[in-house]
Amino acid sequence: MANALSQQTQIGDALSQKNRMRLGRLFIYGPLGVMAILYLMPLWVMVVTSLKPLDEIYGGSFIGLPQTVTLDAWRAAWSQACIGTECTGLKPYFVNSLLMVIPAVVLSTAIGAINGYILTKWRFPGANFVFGLLLFGCFLPYQAILIPMARTLGLLGLAGSIPGLIFVHVAYGICFTTLFFRNYFVSLPDELTKAAMVDGAGFFRIFWSVILPTSIPIIVVSCIWQFTQIWNDFLFGVSFTSGGNSPITVALNNIVNVTTGRKQYNVDMAAAMIAAIPTLLVYIVAGRYFVRGLTAGAVKG
Amino acid sequence: MNAAKSFSSRLAGWLPRIVVAPSLLVVIVTVYLFILWTGVISFTSSKFVPIYDFVGLEQFVRLWATPRWHTAVANLFIFSALFLLLSTGIGLLMAILLDQNIRSEGFLRAVYLYPMALSFIVTGTAWKWILNPGLGIQKVVNEFGWTDFRFDWITDPKMAIYTVVIAGVWQSSGFAMAIFLAGLRGIDNSVIKAAQIEGASLPLIYRQIIIPMLRPAMLSVIVLLSYIAIKSFDLVLALTNGGPGSATELPSTFMFSATFRRNQMGVGAASAIMMLMTVAAIIIPYLYSELRERNNG
């Protein structure tokens, strides 16, 4: 009897513990789920709004599913919406951003790679100081250089042009890419380069056939980081370009801030989605590398 | 021939420095020389174009006598304090919850972090629409039956700065989460096991052991988020355009409009220098300690 009783309480204990565990899990999944919904809500709102006709937007709720799905807003945002006095849609600005981002990413990553290689494998007196100089550039508030850069671009004949923007993005991007590659190459054993040197390989040969083949992951990290930063940049775009040479972020802001007439929220949201899709795609395809870039400067390697 | 060889070997010795020199030069000019240049302009009476006369601290005096700048500085304090507190708190909470061996961790992490891939202009556009009192959250809640519900912060000069906080936290708390999660993954499990054997409860373990061990991650989060807060520009421009009136002006937007819209280049340069000094006061000690520890470790 006593035995049975104790067995029963034991079963009861086990049950209540299991319930407690369940309750505990609820306290974990509950907040995580709520947060996930809050984080996804703006994206959801953007997508559904962009698919609704304008009357439904003014009549219905901002968060509900569209009753009639239409791509008119996307078409308008892509090729008809007015930016200033030009009603060309986002298309030419999307092309501008591509023309800017591709050379800027390639150049800044290539330069960062070779800088990182020199600062780790061909250390010279003062190499640490050089690295410190570059590192502060990562944290420069760009307002502190806007005026001189605007003057300099003017003197170089690059004012208001896409090559001018490429130059700006490469100049300040070097700081980040050098940081990425330096921190990555520091962990490569020096024996690798020493052995290649004994075999008679020179500076460029070692870089090309020993270092580069091992650095695919960090090249991906650097390209994704630079792509996201440069595609999303607004400050340089709005300060150094005007009119038809603007990148997409500037054009998007112009579309959204049009104050005349009935506000076309569906076109605004479609335009925002068009501007967001390239970086979102990169994030979905290569999110792991994106996170590595984000945390590269933060967590000590 | 000997001379030629020694020349080529000397060249080889200098080659790394020669290759790194152009980018070093570009950075020295575009970062340091340009800062100096901005500093020089802040001591001149420049308006539309730089004029190189010397007027001492006149522009700084004028800057600090501008009510709009006072609004900008006050807003920066409100915005940074709340932005930091909320992003760090939410980020830490999410990281701890995600670290409990849960299912679909990868998916949730991706959801919390995707806003970081968006441009602040996109974020601002989306939130401007959600916060619009006539068509956004307020309208939906009103139609749901709660007809007195008011959520018109974005058009209320007193409350508008808090909408910038909401959008900023939405965009950046996932970033804090990612850094905290990396920190949590770096903590040795045996410490936690030992505390559990001693009979410590989970909340106690977190308060007493784990969160103190996250100090380096905490420092990184605070420094990087402060930097994001100080340079916030696009978010304000897209969300409120500094308004209503100048209610959501920040130093970054003030600098831009003074320089490029109101032809007060001297004042703009002075405000840029104030911003730079604020960032430097936070970043330089941080970089110094990071580099020193890295060299020791």
CATH, residue B195:
1.10.3720.10
DSSP string, chain A: -HHHHHHHHHHHHHHHHHHHHHHHHHHHHHHHHHHHHHHHHHHHHHHHHHTS-HHHHHHS-SSSPPSS---HHHHHHHHT--BTTB---SHHHHHHHHHHHHHHHHHHHHHHHHHHHHHHHS--TTHHHHHHHHHHHHT--GGGGHHHHHHHHHHTT-TTSHHHHHHHHHHHHHHHHHHHHHHHHTTS-HHHHHHHHHTT--HHHHIIIIIHHH-HHHHHHHHHHHHHHHHH--HHHHHH--GGG--HHHHHHHHHT--SSS--HHHHHHHHHHHHHHHHHHHHHHHHHHHHHHHHTTS--
Domain that holds residue B37: 30-65+263-297
Please tell me the predicted confidence (pLDDT) of residue A262. Answer: 76
B291 occurs within a structural domain? yes
The answer on pLDDT for A14 being more than 80 is no
Cβ-based contacts under 8 A for chains A and B:
267
Judged by a CB distance cut-off of 8 A, whether residue A178 touches chain B is yes
Q: Comparing A117-126, A234-243, B84-93, B146-155, which segment has the lowest mean pLDDT?
A: B146-155
Contact B24 A130 (CB under 8 A): yes
| Residue A36 to chain B, least CA–CA distance (Å) | 6
Distance from CA of B208 to the nearest CA of A (A): 20
pLDDT at residue B224, as a whole number: 83
Query: Is the pLDDT assigned to residue B88 strictly greater than 90?
Result: yes
- Do residues B142 and B198 share a domain? yes
Do A269 and B129 make contact, defined as CB atoms within 8 angstroms? yes
Cα atoms found within 13 Å of the Cα of residue A299, Cβ hemisphere only: 19
For the record, the structure tokens of B144 come out as 């749901």
| Angle in degrees, CA B291, B294, B297, rounded to 5 | 150
Question: What is the Cα–Cα distance from A220 to A225, expressed in whole angstroms?
Answer: 8
Q: Is pLDDT above 50 for B17?
A: yes
B286 and B176 housed in the same domain? no
Q: A38, A147, A152: best mutation site toward chain B, by most B Cβ within 10 Å?
A: A147
B229 conformational bin, left if phi > 0, alpha if psi -120 to 50, beta if neither: alpha
In a domain, B96, yes or no: yes
CA A186 vs CA A190, A222, A301, B295: distances in Å: 9, 16, 10, 12
Angle at which helix B265-296 crosses helix A127-138, to 10 degrees, equals 130
Cβ-defined contact of B233 to A235 (cutoff 8 Å) = yes
Q: Does A211 touch chain B (CB under 8 A)?
A: no
Interchain pair A253, B121: CB under 8 A: yes
Contacts of A107 in chain B (CB under 8 A): none
What is the per-residue pLDDT across B163-185, written as a single tens digit (0 to 9) for each?
A: 999 999 999 999 999 989 988 88
The answer to whether A286 faces chain B, any CB pair under 8 Å, is: no
Q: How far is B155 from chain A (nearest CA, A)?
A: 15
Residue B14 in any domain: the answer is no
Number of domains in chain B: 2
Indicate the residue of B23, B123, B279 with minimum beta-carbon distance to A141.
Answer: B279
- B170 contacts A38? CB cut-off 8 A: yes
Q: Do B19 and A171 touch (CB under 8 A)?
A: no
Is the Cβ of A201 closer than 8 Å to some Cβ of chain B? Answer: no
A253 touches B at CB < 8 Å = yes
Angle formed at CA B202 by CA B104 and CA B96, multiple of 5 degrees: 35
Q: Which residue of B has its CA nearest to A269?
A: B126
Chain A residue at shortest CA distance from B120: A232
* Spatial contact of A77 and A139, defined as CB atoms under 8 Å apart: no
Q: Give the lowest-confidence range in A202-211, A255-264, B121-130.
A: A255-264
- Segment A186-193 shows an average pLDDT of 86
Q: For every residue of B23-50, which 3-state class applies, written as one string?
A: HHHHHHHHHHHHHHHHHHHHCCCCCCCC
Residue B68 to chain A, least CA–CA distance (Å): 17
CB contact under 8 A, A147 and B170: no
pLDDT greater at residue A252 or residue A187: A252
Residues B167 and B149 in one domain: yes
Q: How confident is the model at residue B187 (pLDDT cuts 50, 70, 90)?
A: confident
A110: CB partners within 8 A, 6+ apart:
none
Q: Which of residues 32-61 of A touch B (CB under 8 A)?
A: 32, 35-36, 38-43, 45-46, 49, 57-58, 61
Residues B112 and B231 in one domain: yes
Q: Give yes or no for A80 touching B (CB within 8 A).
A: no
CA distance to partner chain A, nearest, from residue B220 (Å): 5
Residue A243 has pLDDT above 70, yes or no: yes
Is the same domain home to B283 and B164? no
Query: Residue A300: pLDDT band by 50, 70, 90 thresholds?
Result: very low
Quote the radius of gyration of chain A (alpha carbons, Å).
Answer: 27
- Give yes or no: residues B178 and B267 share one domain: no
Q: Does the beta-carbon distance from A269 to B259 stay under 8 Å? A: no
Token pair in block for residue A272: 């925002």
Could A139 and B227 be called an inter-chain contact, meaning their C-beta atoms sit closer than 8 Å? Answer: yes
**Among all residues of chain A, which has the CA nearest to that of B272?**
A144
The reply to whether B157 and B227 lie within a common domain is yes
Same domain, B135 and B240: yes
At A178, the pLDDT band (50, 70, 90 cuts) reads: very high
Task: Say how far apart CA B171 and CA A193 lie, in whole Å.
Answer: 42
Indicate whether B13 belongs to any domain.
Answer: no
pLDDT at A298: 53
Whether complex ipTM tops 0.95: no
Q: Please indicate, yes or no, whether residues B227 and B160 belong to a single structural domain of this protein.
A: yes
Share the mean pLDDT of chain A.
86
Q: For chain B, say whether A243 makes contact (Cβ under 8 Å).
A: no
Q: What's the mean pLDDT in B95-120?
A: 89
According to the model, what pLDDT value does residue B43 have?
A: 94
Q: What is the pLDDT of residues B31-77, one digit of tens each?
A: 999 999 999 999 999 888 888 898 989 999 999 999 999 999 999 99
A270 CA: distance to closest CA in chain B (Å)? 10
Mean pLDDT of B177-200: 85
Q: pLDDT tier at B297 (50, 70, 90 boundaries)?
A: very low
In this predicted structure, what is the pLDDT of residue A296?
67
The mean pLDDT of chain B is 88
B19 assigned to some structural domain: no
Q: Which amino acid is at B198?
A: E
Cα separation of B129 and B257, whole Å? 24
Partnered with residue A83 across adjacent β-strands are A86
Cβ proximity of A270 and B254 under 8 Å: no
Per-residue model confidence as pLDDT tens digits over A74-130: 998 998 888 877 788 899 999 999 999 999 999 999 999 999 999 998 888 888 888
**Contact state of B287 with A149 under an 8 Å Cβ cutoff:** no
Contact check, Cβ <8 Å, B15/A290: no
- Statement to judge: residues B287 and B203 lie in one domain: no
CA distance A2 to chain B (A): 29
Q: Scanning every residue of chain A, which has its alpha carbon at the shortest distance from the alpha carbon of B278?
A: A141
B116 and B162 part of one domain: yes
Domain membership of residue B2 (yes or no) is no
CA distance B67 to chain A (A): 20
Q: How far apart are CA A132 and CA A113, in angstroms?
A: 17
Which residues from chain B sit within 8 angstroms of residue A124, using beta carbons?
16-17
Q: How far is B276 from chain A (nearest CA, A)?
A: 6
Considering only A184-188, A226-230, A294-298, which range has the smallest mean pLDDT? Answer: A294-298
**Nearest Cβ partner for A62 among B23, B113, B130:** B130
Q: Given B118, B132, B234, which is nearest A276 (Cβ)? A: B118
Structure confidence at residue B37 (pLDDT): 95
Residues B219 and B133 occupy one common structural domain: yes
The minimum CA-CA distance between A298 and chain B, rounded to whole Å, is: 5
Structural domain contains residue B21: no
Residue B139 lies in a domain: yes
Model pTM?
Answer: 0.89
Question: Per residue in B230-280, pLDDT tens?
Answer: 888 999 999 998 878 888 999 999 999 999 989 899 999 999 999 999 999
Which tops the pLDDT comparison, B44 or A288? B44
Contact B27 A122 (CB under 8 A): no
Q: Is the pLDDT of residue B215 over 50?
A: yes
Per-residue pLDDT for A13 more than 80? no
Question: Which pLDDT does position B114 carry in this prediction?
Answer: 92
Specify the pLDDT at position A1: 41
